[in-house]
Chains A and B, each alone.
Chain A
Amino acid sequence: MAVRDFDLWAATPDADIQKFEHITHYARSERLPWKRRRRAPNEELRAAEAFADPERARRFPLRVSSYVPRRLFSEILKQRFEADLADASAHSLRRAAPQASAFRLLTGAQKALVAATVFLCAAFFATTPVGALIALNIGVTAYFLIAILFRLYLTIVGFTASGAARSYQTLLDDELPVATILLPVYDEAGGLPILKDAIGALDYPVEKLDIKLIMEADDATTIAEARRLGLDRAWDCVVVPPSEPRTKPKACNHALYLARGEIIVIYDAEDAPEPDQLRKAAAAFAASDETVACLQARLNYYNAGDTWLTRLFALEYALWFDNLLPALEKLRIPIPLGGTSNFFRTQTLIEIGGWDPFNVTEDADLGLRLARRGYRTEILDSTTFEEANCRADNWIRQRSRWMKGYMQTWLVHMREPGEFYRVAGWRGFLATQLFVAGNVFSALINPILWAVFALWLATHAGIISAIFPGPLLALNLFALLAGNFFFIYLAAIAPLKRGWIELSPSALFAPAYWLLTSFAAYKALWQLATRPSFWEKTEHVLSAAAKERRALALRPREERA
């Protein structure tokens, strides 16, 4: 057996045998080729912890190896490929699959279609303005009626889906896979103590955790705070060099290449996952076939009751994650993922190109991309609690980013609508129109409709009556009244699954929330035209609940009781 140590520091590595395209293999196997020898076994660098079991070392006998601590191995890997990592994390998807990237907002065909549509509409409006407005009215009414019916359908399906929460065989510690946790943070120094506590509370064997705290190189405050808290020793700190686009998905891609886990999960800085979430995810993956590439945990807020805004935010999340997503899953409709607590099979995620760094809702895009490749997403019966935005300005920043990202996502996936329809089926196609494009469209159109309605009530202006001929008026009123009532009621019943019935009265204020959403949508539309990949940062640790958590996290453990 040709196993012997070589002197790492004396042996300059051969650059030509260290190939970036194999970096994920190096990271997961924790073996890095070091030097090629002509008449002797090649030299290899290994993470000592990964080879603590002599049996594993014996599986790779024809190497001369040098063992270094895991942390050092990781640092060497990062340094060796720093430039490649920076480049690949930003550009590999758009190079490999330009059609799947939001790097270009519109393709040539899309631009032509937009131009033709605008021209035809303008011509129609110029020749018969009332007719054009009636046609527009018919389109809008039809959209809302379809949206209402589809929501109703999903609600009924959700009722039946929710009764069947899966339970999986619990895995023993030895059977658990290595799990990589990605923690992208930017300007989050204040939230790090909370994050440290939340991740520390996860019930998972420490030796099977690969926790990557991803920071930006120019974010000195967060880096310093991470060091002060000792996170650079406890976790693997990945520092992403400054480059465009400055987005979370780019940072995640950077760390994805370095992941050594079989499964990978992403948490935001303010997340507090339920302690058994990782175990549940591991068990769910173990029990599923390879087509299940992703698990989405439910999300909700730990400060739901703070203000009217947080209450409505919590209702919205409860409706989406607790009621509608199980229905989408049951119907095998592509699920636009939420931005956090998504679990993936690492290899699958790498194969489909990771996250799109130019898309500001990379999660929603990834959910659809997975579906297009034939993979499924399931809902994990576990909740991650987050801090809900309690300030309107901060909320608008976050929401406008989501709206912009939804627009990007829709434009990307409608580049080949026929192919998408073929893969997703009519329900998936319709759901994508309603949940991705429809969310934005509703937000944009809602204030206009209400304004027209209010104007008509106040003035009974003839032009408004003219564009609402008899049956259309009836349908329009139905869409307006029944639709709004229905959505308010859905919000009211959404928290019942969690027993949070005290939040239900807040649903009556949903129209005000929708108005705020509309404002964010218009802001998003403006940004889409001017700064499509600009990542508008959401501030955290603003609420009293989060500050309390931070104060608690900063106390010595023995004082907490």
Chain B
Amino acid sequence: MTRPAHLVSVLLAGAAFAGALGGLFQPPGAPLTRMALIPDLLSFANGTLSAVSNAGLAGLAGAVIGVCLAASAKAGGARRPFLLSGLLLANPLAVYAFAGGAGAALLLAAGTIVACAAVGLAATRDYRAAVLLSFALALAPFLSNTLLFLYPLLFLALPLASPWGLAAQKAAGFAVVIWSPFAMALAGLAYLHGLLDPPVGGAPFDLAAWRGAFGEDFLLLAAGAGLISLAAIAASRLAGGLAFLAGAELLALAHPEWFQGL
């Protein structure tokens, strides 16, 4: 298996795993739980896994992150291993995430996946990174819901940051590629939501309901993850993206309230 392929496969698996765990462990009444097509199966899985402690889950999430990073480290480019290792190890949000428990660690996993995809895309215009990024962005709300708060900003900014250039048609194409899984997931789930279980307490687009279900920790982490993506792509240079990331994260740690309104 080639190295980029290795990266993509592992990251997709990581995204799926993190998304699944995130969905299972959301509070009752969270959108994914409510939209479950096979509630019995979900309850069964939830019941089985609830026996596992938070520490164990954090460990699992850590393993996912570790696998992602290990794969990233092999993903070509002499500097990439060091940069990506540094990205995690020097990241104060990582420590914060693990201190925050299983949910936060899972969110960090998703954030890492988004970041890896974004870095890969910016560095190589690799279509696989674009696919990965689009799936990560579509999966992220199911992990924490809170990334949704960042989406209006990302929605506006990402096409402008297309690595394929700013020509209107290219930017539009990039927007479609990046956002269509998310849009399709929302459209499909909104439809199923209405069809199978009429909304209780608001549709998936109801930001207040989403915000109420989850704490600010998630929002803070989500801001970091989103900014990683944006920065890396906008800069289209690995080093520039990382510098932007570092600044944004420091800002997020210092003034989390600034990010809550996004």
Of the four ranges (under 10, 10 to 19, 20 to 34, 35 or more), the interface on chain B belongs to 20 to 34
- In the complex, the answer to whether A160 meets B5 with C-beta atoms within 8 Å is yes
Q: Does B60 contact A (CB under 8 A)?
A: no
List chain B positions with a Cβ less than 8 A from chain A. Answer: 1-5, 8-9, 12, 37-38, 125, 127-128, 130-131, 162, 164, 167, 169-170, 172-174, 176-177, 180-181, 184-185, 188, 191-192, 195
Which B residues are CB-close (under 8 A) to A163? 2-5
Which B residues are CB-close (under 8 A) to A501? 162, 164, 170, 173-174, 177
Tell me, in angstroms, the Cα distance from A502 to B172 when the chains sit together. 7
- In the complex, the answer to whether A474 meets B37 with C-beta atoms within 8 Å is yes
- In the complex, the answer to whether A504 meets B176 with C-beta atoms within 8 Å is yes
Interface residues of A in 149-172 (CB under 8 A from B): 156, 159-160, 163-164
Interface residues of A in 486-507 (CB under 8 A from B): 488-489, 492-493, 496-497, 499, 501-505, 507
Which A residues are CB-close (under 8 A) to B180? 485, 488-489, 492, 507-508
Q: Does A81 contact B (CB under 8 A)?
A: no
Which A residues are CB-close (under 8 A) to B195? 477
List chain A positions with a Cβ less than 8 A from chain B. Answer: 156, 159-160, 163-164, 471, 474, 477-478, 481-482, 485, 488-489, 492-493, 496-497, 499, 501-505, 507-508
Which B residues are CB-close (under 8 A) to A507? 176, 180
Which B residues are CB-close (under 8 A) to A502? 167, 169-170, 172-173
- In the complex, the answer to whether B130 meets A493 with C-beta atoms within 8 Å is yes
Tell me, in angstroms, the Cα distance from A503 to B37 when the chains sit together. 34
- In the complex, the answer to whether A499 meets B38 with C-beta atoms within 8 Å is no
Within 8 Å by CB of B2, from A164, A477, A503, A505, lies A164
Tell me, in angstroms, the Cα distance from A481 to B170 when the chains sit together. 27
Most buried by A among B127, B131, B164: B127
- In the complex, the answer to whether B9 meets A496 with C-beta atoms within 8 Å is no
- In the complex, the answer to whether B127 meets A493 with C-beta atoms within 8 Å is yes
- In the complex, the answer to whether A497 meets B127 with C-beta atoms within 8 Å is yes
Which A residues are CB-close (under 8 A) to B130? 493, 496
B144 to chain A, nearest CB (A): 22
Tell me, in angstroms, the Cα distance from A474 to B37 when the chains sit together. 6
B233 to chain A, nearest CB (A): 14
Given contacts A481-B188, A493-B127, A156 and B173 within 8 Å (CB-CB): no
Tell me, in angstroms, the Cα distance from A502 to B168 when the chains sit together. 9
Tell me, in angstroms, the Cα distance from A522 to B195 when the chains sit together. 33
Given contacts A156-B9, A502-B167, A496 and B188 within 8 Å (CB-CB): no
Which B residues are CB-close (under 8 A) to A485? 180-181, 184-185, 188
Tell me, in angstroms, the Cα distance from A471 to B3 when the chains sit together. 40
Within 8 Å by CB of A159, from B128, B162, B172, B176, lies B128
Which B residues are CB-close (under 8 A) to A499? 125, 164
Which B residues are CB-close (under 8 A) to A497? 127
- In the complex, the answer to whether A489 meets B181 with C-beta atoms within 8 Å is yes
Given contacts A493-B130, A499-B164, A159 and B8 within 8 Å (CB-CB): yes
* In the A-B complex, the 5 residue pairs with the closest CB atoms: A496-B127, A163-B2, A160-B5, A501-B173, A502-B169
- In the complex, the answer to whether B177 meets A159 with C-beta atoms within 8 Å is no
Which B residues are CB-close (under 8 A) to A482? 188
Q: Smallest CB-CB separation from A505: which chain B residue?
A: B176
Tell me, in angstroms, the Cα distance from A234 to B172 when the chains sit together. 47
